[in-house]
Structure formats: structure tokens, C-alpha cells
Amino acid sequence: MKKFLLSSIIIIIGLTFIGRLSYLQIFSFSPDQVMEDPAIKAIYDYPERGYIYDRNNKLLVGNDPAYDVMVIPREVRALDTLEFCGLLDVDKEKFIKQLKRARIYSPRLPSVLVPQLSKQDYARLQEKMRRYPGFYIQKRSLRYYDTNSAANVLGYISEVNERDLAKNPYYVQGELTGRTGVEKVYEDTLRGSKGVQYIQKDRFNRDIGKYKDGALDVVPEQGKEITITIDKELQEYGELLMNGKHGGIVAIEPSSGEILAMISGPTYEPSLLVGRKRSKNYTKLYNDSISNPTFDRSISFEKSPGSPFKAINALIALQEGAITPSTTFTCRNGFYIERSKKGCHCGGGTRNLNNGIYKSCNAYFVGAYKKIFEQFPSNSEAMDAWEKHVKSFGMGNYLGSDLHTGRPGTVPNTKLYNKWYGIGDKRWSATTTYSNAIGQGEVNVTPIQLANMTAAIANRGHYFTPHILKKVEGKDIKNPDFTEAKYTTIDKKHFESVVQGMADVYKKGTASGVQIPDIEIAGKTGTVENYTVIDSVRTQLTDNSVFVAFAPVDNPKIAIAVYIQNGYYGGRYAGHIASLLIEKYLKREITRKDLEKRMLERTLEAEYAKPYSGQPFKINERDWSKHTIKPKTEETQSR
Amino acid sequence: MAGKSILKRVDWLTIFIYLALLTIGWVNIYSSTFTEETISIFDFNTLHGKQFFFIGVSFASIILVLALDAGFYERFSSLLYLISMVSLLGLFVFGKTIAGATSWYDLGFFNLQPSELAKVATALALAKYLSDIQTDIKRNKDQLYAFLVLLIPAILIIPQPDPGSALVFFAMAFVIFREGLPIYFLGIVLLAVVVFITTLMFGTIWVSIFLALIIILFLLLKRKTFKVPVFPMVSVAVIAILFSLSVNFVFNEVFEQRHRDRFSLWLRLEKDPNKLEKIRKTIGYNTYQSEKAIESGGFFGKGFLEGTRTKGDFVPEQHTDYIFSTVGEEWGFVGTTTVVLLFTLLLLRLVYLSERQKNPFSRMYGYGVISILFIHYFINIGMVIGILPTVGIPLPFFSYGGSGLLFFTILLFIFLKLDSNRLKEGI
């Protein structure tokens, strides 16, 4: 029996061992342990981030090398502190304090000791660093901006956070990623991919060679340079004009959908969000809730479009056979909605399509809108058709552009009115929803949607999805989302009369004050009523100034939408700014220096301060000489 | 079979396993001491080169062991025992200290560890004493003498200090047990171990409750045919509880902090993560690193010379006591299981061989060999894979070390020689 006892003990022990080993080597084993293995250290080699150029191959964003003196406290040996401090050109006390701080952070991991050496210091130090074990110089690359504009377009980069790490296994703590704008959308292209070298370490953390002779090492892949559709000159000029004004401007090349400029005012200098001051500056910008510079008004600002939207209604009425260009409506300095008179500024008289547009007659378009509804057996069918047409111009939904953000805007529909007023033809009608006719009320669009709408009119019936990427590594992009035309539901033949009306806006209509020599423009002004809530009272503010335009009328090169908050009537700020930008883009120089000076000097800061003043205030003041401010000195400039 | 060449009579299966273990062992020593600069694998300046030399020496000793008359070992066992005891004593005067333990004689070209010789000699002497016609293991006096044979070398070795080797001599008590020591001796030892562990893990109160429950269970199961020895059971339980109390006392008052830490680590007593981390970095460093190294090997291992933790020397003493972690890292579960199976097979084969001996001396010596090999294998691998506390003891045929390899070989082959002669008369 004792013989079996011993044999069974031997077998039981053997099974116990195998059990424990299978627990260790099969159940506890995780295949991706290379990263956790203390014997293997991954050293990353970061490629340079790709440059960003404008459409004319002018540099927008490049890189600036930065050199940091790093320290690994554990490896520091006794050294002549005074001599070393002299070499680094730092204060001895500060040096000792920094070293202590680095040691507290981690004796084993590198810390920055002296950040951002100049290139000269780097050259001087590089040779001598070897004499000081534990110290070394690390090269980093910082974003360098060759412009002080386009912050909203370009975006910025910052260190990855927990969410980025969870979302994308590529990133490791401490790496940088694009946060907004082009930097975010084209992160993968710009970033390239980092190289990695696996180093075999011993338990004293010393290198003892390459892990697996470098079989797993990866060579870094350079970041690609990209060319964006922005015209640097136009963008910079637009931001200059936007000085002291809140709003958004988007300019598009109608024949391609390329975004020529995308201006949001107020904005900030892109270089504020680079390097060590980024976090502090960002918080400051973010907390500025009045001017809100981090909010991209060009793509995210949803507001009623106002009169420019009348062009769409004209097109829908033509398409549905509700009117012909010669159909007339009489304006009695206004029109009646259920016995209450609504005003019109066109001067009154008989209006056809042409002068309806160029005089921006509310009565004409409300009449045309009612006519559209008469074409359908029920109001809801009419509404459905109207919604379909409007949406075909890229409104009421995300455009599908390659911008990092955006808003869909709103286009009212049957469902909305059924909810508001109840289901049935008796509950609501063209009369109830007449504000749609003049682009007020429930219609909300962003400046980029407005610009896109203008491009669609300029193209007489189709548009290309607005986009920002032009070339990657000098090669044109071939993304069918951007290169294939999107057709509106309006037949091409109906556009000519509307375009004619818009051209007359500029020749003899509401925008006749903004004419540019030698350039024929088709445009449409807008003066949009807007309200805010002050101390829980709905209060009307000075109207928003809107202007959409394209030029030249034949074979258009630029379609633009300018939306200036509280700028009063469309021809005042928006119209002038639009005309200056068109001139800048088409002629590359400004002939109307007086106008330019006026636009650069005038700010709407006083207008924006009104709601916050706590005092009763006037709106829509005729006199705008108060808007002129003395040229600001360097220190007080808002940007 | 009798009269045929020794080569025909010797147990080739054992030799085959022995050679397999030796080969695997050397490959892993090579790997754990490998550096990129190594030029020749037989360079005597390297540890694997030295070990290769000792393998040669061991092979020479095999020839000698097999060539000697089988009767020689029984006849000279007392003398050998005496010599080894003297050599252990001599360490107090002439011993060379390596890594804190005065366990070696400096012989110039290599260091001799007499405790390894003592293992062989004690196994022989114990077999000789127990197989003596005048010895009756049922007698208390003879039991005492038998234990004394084991106790003397143990007492001489403990102060070196080398508690691991001393433990080996206690393990040889299994031979006495096999030869007639009543079974309750084993029961008492087992009970003591269980009470010791459970006291540390759950405390005296729970041990008492548990013992009481067992007695109640027995009483409930009482049948007419099955007489429950109530009195002895209760007295054993009382003694166990007293022992449990003394365990608490010894653990808290007699043990030093490092001993307590070892047990804390082994029995996972420490729950505070900060303290656990500290233990892991100090006393538990070896075990933690070896466990991690083995774990990182996975099923198939990282491959020969590809063990990153082995290369980085993360496991201390990896070529000696922790050699098994190299197997774990580079050869994975496949490798570790193979080694465990080889040892299991070897030990079972030796049990089989011992049991077939007609001569009591040969059988008892066989059990001595099994006890020695088993305790080394059990404690070493148990320690390396983290299920036993840290005790410095080499893995037979595996760990780097000339004396160890030489005397394990001699130990094993003396038995094979005796086995090959089992059918001959009048040894």
C-alpha cells in the first residue's frame, strides 16, 4: 500500500504543477504583452507632420523644430552644476529646483529640464551633452503658422486624452493629435505613422541590444503634405474686414465646390494654440462667452437667411408652374395676412419676378408662395414639395463636407406644422407659414449652406459638395463625393430669369451701392430680423446684415455668402464686405480704397455691447458714423 | 540475465530520462547565461562551458560507479557517511563563503559542496542501518537512531546556512516510514502542516471550529460496525489547537519580518496593495519575476534564446535555482509540462525499480534516492511557479552547479548499479 501512496503523491504533485503552469501560461497569458514586458522598451520615432499649403501653394502651416533638454534623474551622476548651468544658460537655483521636481515626477522616466532651446544653443550644446550622463536633448516639432488667420479652418493639435486612447490604439500617452479643423479631419494623412524600435533591456534598465534583432521594428512613415482649397490672401483679407464684427463668411468656387475662404468673426491667431501655452490660451478663448472666438460661425451658425432665400422661392414657384417671370403681384407698401398688414420696403407698385427680386419685395414673394400652395390639392402636399426643393439646395441637412464640424440648419416641413398647428388643411396653410416666403421664421441655415445655395444658383441648377481638401502630396483628390455634381430639383431653364433678377439687384436694386468696376455681380441682400432674450423679455436686436453673391454672372468664379450679426440692412456691411472680397479674389487688388478703409475701420462692438449694457437701446440706427473707431494701436488690437 | 554485461542489465529507461533532463537543463543554462559576445559554446570562461565540463566529469563518474563492485557501496557506506560528516564539520574551519553561505571547499579549479556528498552518503548509511539484521524499526530506540542518521548532517548544514539542503535530510524520513514506521507518523506530520497553514490563513478560532465539526461529523456517522475512537480524536484535536496557538506565537514572536513576508507572499495573506507591492519588490521579487517570466512564455514559448526576461536577467539566480523559469519563458507550457512529466516518469520508474529489489539495502537506498530527488524537484519547481515559499534548492540535473550535478549523478547511478545486480546472489 505504501508503494502506491508514494506513487500517488508523485502523480498528484505532477498534476498540481501542470495545473498551476496551465493557469500561468494558458489562462493568464496575454499575447499583447510586448508592451508590458519590462525587458522590452519601445522607442518611437515620430515623423514630421505634413505641411499645409493654400490653393496657390503658399505655405499655411509648417513645422518648427524645438529642442528640449531632458533629464533622467536616476542616471544623473555627480556633475559640476555651475559649469553645466552656464552651458545651459540657466539659473543655478532654478536648475536644482527643476531637477528635484523631475525626480519627484519619476526617477526613471525622462522629464523636460529646459524647454525650447534656440537652434544656436542646440548646436552649441549637442556636442557637450555626452559629458553629462542622464541629460540629453530631444528634438520635437511644433506647428508653425505662416499666417495669422484661418485658425477655424486649420484647427490645432494637442495631446491625446483618455478618450482618444480608448478610441484609437495607435496613440500612446503624450502623443499629439489634431483637435479641430483640417488638423483633425486629415489627421491620418498629416501625421504619417510613427516608427518604433524595440530595445531589449536588462533589469537595471540598460540597453542590451535590439529585441529580436529588430524584426518587429517599424520604419516611420512621413506625414503627407496637403493643399487645401483656401485662398490664403482672400482668407486673410476677409478676416481683416471682419475685424470687430461677428458673423461668418464662406466663399466657394461654384465650378468645383472648393471652399475659397471660410471666415468666422471674431477669431484668434492660430499660433496661440501651439506649444506650452496652448492649454492656458485655449481656456481663455473658450471662456470668452460674448465674442466666443472658438465657435466657428462660418459653418455652425444657424440663422434665418432672410431675403436671399427669396431666390429659392422664386425658383420653386417657377418649377411648380405657380408663376412665370411675367406674373405680377401688387405691393401696397406691404401685404395683408388675415387682415393684418405686413410691411414691405420695396416702395410699392406692380412687381414681376425681375423687380420683385431686385427690389426684394415681400409682397411679391408671399404672393408667389401662396401660388405654390395653390398648385397642390392639399397644403401638406405643397409643403412636402416645397421642402424637397429647398433641401435639394443642401439646406436642412449636413452638407457632407470634409470639415470637422457643422450644423444641419432647419427646413420646416409638414410634420413640424402638423405638430405645431394640428393635422389638416384647415389648421395651417400658406398664410400661416408665409414667413418661409421671405426667409424668416422657421428656415435656418449656416453661412456655408447659404454660400452653397448661391453656388447652385451660379451653376444654374447643380452644386459640388463644398470641401477643403484640394491635393495630397501635390496630387488632386479624386473623391467622388466632391467631384460629382449634385443636381437640384429645379430645371436649368428657370434659373436664367432669377439670375437676371439677382444681377439687377447689383445694377439697380438693393445692392447698387456696392458695384465694382468691370465686374458684373449677381447678388441678393438680406436684412434679417433677430431677437434675443434679455431678462426674460424677448427683445429685438439690430437686424442681421446678409448678402449672397456670385461673380461673374456668366461663368462664375466665386460664390459668396456674408452674414454679419446686427449689421442692419444687407447692403450696409454684408454687401460691401462681399463686394470687396469678390474684387480681391477676381482682381487681386482693391480699387475702391475709400470703401475698404470704411469697412476696415468700422466695428460693431458698440452694437454687440447693447444687450449687455442693461440700458434701453435703439436698434437699426440709420446713422452708422458711430461705428467708426480710431485705428487701434498694436497693444489694444483684439487679435 | 545474470552474468551478462552491465550494459544489458542496467535500466536504460532511467538513463534515457536522465540524459533527456541533462540535455534540456544544459540548453537552458546556455540560454540563461548567453550573451551576444559568446564565441564558443564550450568556452570554460562561460557558465555553460563549465557546466559542459561537469557533464563530462559526471559521465566519467558513471563509468566508475558502474565499474565498482555492487557490494562496495553497502560495505563502505558507514565510512563514507563518516567522511562526509567530517567534511561538513571541516566547513566551519576551511569553508568558503559564496552568497552568504559557507557551503563550499575551494579546490582551486572548482568549488566542492560537501552537502551534496552528504546526501549520497546519508542515503547509503540510512539504508545500511535500516537493512541491518539487528535493526527493528518498530522499536523506539531504533527509530531514534534512524532519525539521528538524518539529523546529524541536517544539524551540521543548517548553520551554514543552507536550510534548503537540510530539508532534504528530513525528507529522507520517508524511507524510515516506508520501512515500517507506523502510518500515524505521516498523519501527524500532515496534520501539523495543515494546521500550520490554516492557522496562518484563517486563524486559530476557525481551525478549532473546523476540527470540532470534523469530530461531530464522525459522531453523527457512528455505526455499530465502525467504532469511533472518541478519546484519541479529541486529544489529537486539543493538541492541534495548542499547536495552532503556538504557531501564532512562533509566527509573530520568533519569526523575523523576512520570514513572515515569505509566508505572507506564499499564502497571499497580505491584502494591502501597497505592502504587497513592497513585498513584491523585496522578498518576493524572485518569485514575482519568475512567475511573470513563465507566464510570458505562453503555450509555445518565445523560442530558444528569445526569452526577453531571461536575456534581461530579470529573474535572479536564473541559471541555478530559477532555471525552470527559463524553460517556462522560452519553451512555454509545452516545455514546462515536458519537464514535469519527465520528472514524474523518472520518480515513478524509480519507485518501480525500488519495489522490485530483493535486497532490502538496495530497496531502502532506492527510496532514499527517490526522497532526495523528489524533495528537490517538488520544492524547486513549486517555488519557481509560486506555490511554495522561497527555499534555495537546486533542480536535479538541471540547475547550474558542478557538485550538485556530479553527486546527483552518482546518487542515481549507484542505485542503477545496485538494481543491475539485483538477481545476483550475495552482494
- The 3-state secondary structure of B371-417 reads HHHHHHHHHHHHHHCCCCCCCCCCCCCCCCCHHHHHHHHHHHHHHHH
Q: Among A3, A11, A21, whose Cβ lies nearest the Cβ of B344?
A: A11
B211, amino acid identity: L
Residue B78: per-residue pLDDT: 93
What is the domain extent for residue B77? 6-181+281-420
CA A486 → CA A107, A460, A465, A551, A559, distances in Å? Answer: 61, 12, 7, 21, 16
Distance of CA A184 to the CA centre of its chain: 10
- What span, in angstroms and rounded, lies between the C-alpha atoms of A221 and A199? 20
Crossing angle, helix B140-157 and helix B114-131, to 10 degrees? 170
- What span, in angstroms and rounded, lies between the C-alpha atoms of A582 and A559? 9
Residue A634: per-residue pLDDT: 43
Q: Among A3, A25, A39, whose Cβ lies nearest the Cβ of B295?
A: A25
Number of domains in chain B: 1
Residue A48: per-residue pLDDT: 86
Q: Residue B205 falls within a domain, yes or no?
A: no
**What's the gap in Å between the CA of A45 and the closest CA on chain B?**
22
- What span, in angstroms and rounded, lies between the C-alpha atoms of A285 and A277? 12
**Is the bond preceding residue A266 a cis peptide, omega within 30 degrees?**
yes
Q: Is the pLDDT of residue A637 over 70?
A: no
Q: Write out B169-220 in H/E/C secondary structure.
A: HHHCHHHHHHCCCCHHHHHHHHHHHHHHHHHHHHCHHHHHHHHHHHHHHHHH
Q: What number of other Cβ atoms are within 10 A of residue A628's Cβ? A: 12
- What span, in angstroms and rounded, lies between the C-alpha atoms of A393 and A463? 8
Q: Is the pLDDT of residue A378 over 50?
A: yes
Q: Which of A260, A292, A267, A239 is closest to A599 using CA atoms?
A: A239
Q: Is the pLDDT of residue A632 over 50?
A: no
Q: Does B176 touch chain A (CB under 8 A)?
A: no
Residue B382: per-residue pLDDT: 93
Candidate ranges A21-25, A68-72, B314-318; pick with highest mean pLDDT:
A21-25
Q: Residue B269 falls within a domain, yes or no?
A: no
Q: Is the pLDDT of residue B45 over 70?
A: yes
Residue to mutate among B37, B186, B313, with most A CBs inside 10 A, is B313
Residue B225: per-residue pLDDT: 60
Question: Nearest 10 degrees: CA dihedral of B111, B113, B117, B119?
Answer: -150
Per-residue confidence band for A312, with pLDDT thresholds at 50, 70 and 90: very high
What number is the average pLDDT over the span A23-35?
77
Residue to mutate among A5, A11, A21, with most B CBs inside 10 A, is A21
Q: Residue B262 falls within a domain, yes or no?
A: no
For residue A84 the three cell numbers come to 553645466
Q: Is the pLDDT of residue A6 over 90?
A: no
Tens of pLDDT, residues A539-578: 888 899 999 999 899 999 999 999 999 988 888 899 999 9
Say yes or no for a CB contact (<8 Å) between B328 and A25: yes
Lowest mean pLDDT among A255-259, B137-141, B417-421: B137-141
Tens of pLDDT, residues B73-87: 999 999 999 999 999
User: Scanning every residue of chain A, which has its alpha carbon at the shortest distance from the alpha carbon of B378?
Assistant: A13
What backbone phi and psi angles, to 5 degrees, belong to A111? -125, 155
Q: Is the pLDDT of residue B91 over 80?
A: yes
Lowest mean pLDDT among A248-257, A372-381, B156-165: B156-165
**What's the gap in Å between the CA of A99 and the closest CA on chain B?**
26
For residue A220 the three cell numbers come to 516611420
- What span, in angstroms and rounded, lies between the C-alpha atoms of A209 and B35? 10
Q: Among B294, B314, B340, whose Cβ lies nearest the Cβ of A39?
A: B314
Residue A287: per-residue pLDDT: 87
Q: Among A10, A28, A200, whose Cβ lies nearest the Cβ of B374?
A: A10
Q: What number of other Cβ atoms are within 10 A of residue A630's Cβ? A: 6
User: Scanning every residue of chain A, which has its alpha carbon at the shortest distance from the alpha carbon of B373?
Assistant: A10
Q: Residue B57 falls within a domain, yes or no?
A: yes
Q: Residue B208 falls within a domain, yes or no?
A: no
For residue B371 the three cell numbers come to 526522497
Domain A46-91+108-191+213-225: which CATH class? alpha beta
Per-residue confidence band for A276, with pLDDT thresholds at 50, 70 and 90: low
Residues of chain B in contact with residue A39, where contact means CB-CB under 8 angstroms, are 308-309, 311-312, 314
What rounded mean pLDDT belongs to chain B? 86
Say yes or no for a CB contact (<8 Å) between B309 and A201: no
Residue B149: per-residue pLDDT: 93
Question: Nearest 10 degrees: CA dihedral of A467, A471, A476, A477?
Answer: -50
Q: Does B337 touch chain A (CB under 8 A)?
A: yes
For residue A499 the three cell numbers come to 439670375
- What span, in angstroms and rounded, lies between the C-alpha atoms of B395 and B326? 13
Q: Among B306, B313, B344, whose Cβ lies nearest the Cβ of A10?
A: B344
Residue B427: per-residue pLDDT: 44
Q: Is the pLDDT of residue B31 over 60?
A: yes
Q: Residue B289 falls within a domain, yes or no?
A: yes
Q: Is the pLDDT of residue A630 over 60?
A: no
Say yes or no for a CB contact (<8 Å) between B294 and A24: yes
Q: Does B386 touch chain A (CB under 8 A)?
A: yes
Per-residue confidence band for B1, with pLDDT thresholds at 50, 70 and 90: very low
Q: Residue B30 falls within a domain, yes or no?
A: yes
Q: What number of other Cβ atoms are within 10 A of residue A338's Cβ? A: 7
Query: Sign of the C-alpha dihedral, residues B91, B95, B100, B103?
Result: negative
Q: A547 CB contacts (<8 Å, ≥6 apart)?
A: A308, A511, A514, A523, A524, A525, A526, A560, A561, A562, A570, A571, A574, A575, A577, A578
Tens of pLDDT, residues A47-97: 889 999 999 999 999 988 878 788 888 778 888 888 888 887 788 888 888
Q: Does B294 touch chain A (CB under 8 A)?
A: yes
Say yes or no for a CB contact (<8 Å) between A25 and B314: no
Looking at per-residue pLDDT, the higher value among A498 and B215 belongs to A498
10 Å CB burial of residue A93 (0-12, 13-18, 19+) is exposed
Residue to mutate among B300, B326, B344, with most A CBs inside 10 A, is B344
Q: Among B178, B297, B313, whose Cβ lies nearest the Cβ of A2?
A: B178
Q: Is the pLDDT of residue A205 over 80?
A: no
- What span, in angstroms and rounded, lies between the C-alpha atoms of A528 and A619? 13
What number is the average pLDDT over the span A411-425?
88
Crossing angle, helix A232-241 and helix A574-587, to 10 degrees? 160
Q: Which of B288, B312, B10, B327 is closest to A204 using CA atoms?
A: B312
Q: Is the pLDDT of residue A252 over 90?
A: yes
CA A405 → CA A182, A236, A250, A252, A393, distances in Å? Answer: 11, 21, 15, 17, 19
Residue count (chain B)? 427
What number is the average pLDDT over the span A27-31?
80
Residue A237: per-residue pLDDT: 94
Q: Residue B15 falls within a domain, yes or no?
A: yes
Tens of pLDDT, residues A103-158: 877 676 677 787 767 777 788 887 788 888 888 887 777 888 999 999 999 998 88
- Interface A-B, measured as beta-carbon pairs within 8 A, has a size of 99
Q: Is the pLDDT of residue A456 over 90?
A: yes
Q: Which of B426, B418, B427, B425 is closest to B14 using CA atoms?
A: B418
- What span, in angstroms and rounded, lies between the C-alpha atoms of A448 and A302? 10
Residue to mutate among B31, B176, B189, B296, with most A CBs inside 10 A, is B296
Distance of CA A192 to the CA centre of its chain: 23
Residues of chain B in contact with residue A6, where contact means CB-CB under 8 angstroms, are 174, 178, 351, 367, 370
Q: What number of other Cβ atoms are within 10 A of residue B166's Cβ? A: 21
Question: Nearest 10 degrees: CA dihedral of A425, A428, A431, A433?
Answer: -130
Q: Is the pLDDT of residue A1 over 70?
A: no
Looking at per-residue pLDDT, the higher value among A639 and A7 belongs to A7
Q: Is the pLDDT of residue A631 over 50?
A: no
Strand partners, A524: A548
* All structural domains of chain A with their residue ranges: 46-91+108-191+213-225, 232-627
Residue A51: per-residue pLDDT: 93
Q: Does B385 touch chain A (CB under 8 A)?
A: yes
What number is the average pLDDT over the span A227-247?
93
Say yes or no for a CB contact (<8 Å) between B333 and A33: no
Q: Does B148 touch chain A (CB under 8 A)?
A: no
Residues of chain B in contact with residue A16, where contact means CB-CB under 8 angstroms, are 387
**Is the bond preceding residue A133 a cis peptide, omega within 30 degrees?**
no
- What span, in angstroms and rounded, lies between the C-alpha atoms of B418 and B427? 9
For residue B346 the three cell numbers come to 523518472
Q: Does B174 touch chain A (CB under 8 A)?
A: yes
* Cβ burial B331-360 (10 Å sphere, 16+ → b, else e): bbbebbbebbebbbbbbbbbbebbeebebe
Residue to mutate among B292, B304, B327, B329, with most A CBs inside 10 A, is B292
**What's the gap in Å between the CA of A612 and the closest CA on chain B?**
56
Per-residue confidence band for A638, with pLDDT thresholds at 50, 70 and 90: very low
What rounded mean pLDDT belongs to chain A? 86
- CATH superfamily ID and name for A232-627: DD-peptidase/beta-lactamase superfamily (3.40.710.10)
Say yes or no for a CB contact (<8 Å) between B174 and A24: no
What number is the average pLDDT over the span A604-620?
84
What number is the average pLDDT over the span A354-375?
91
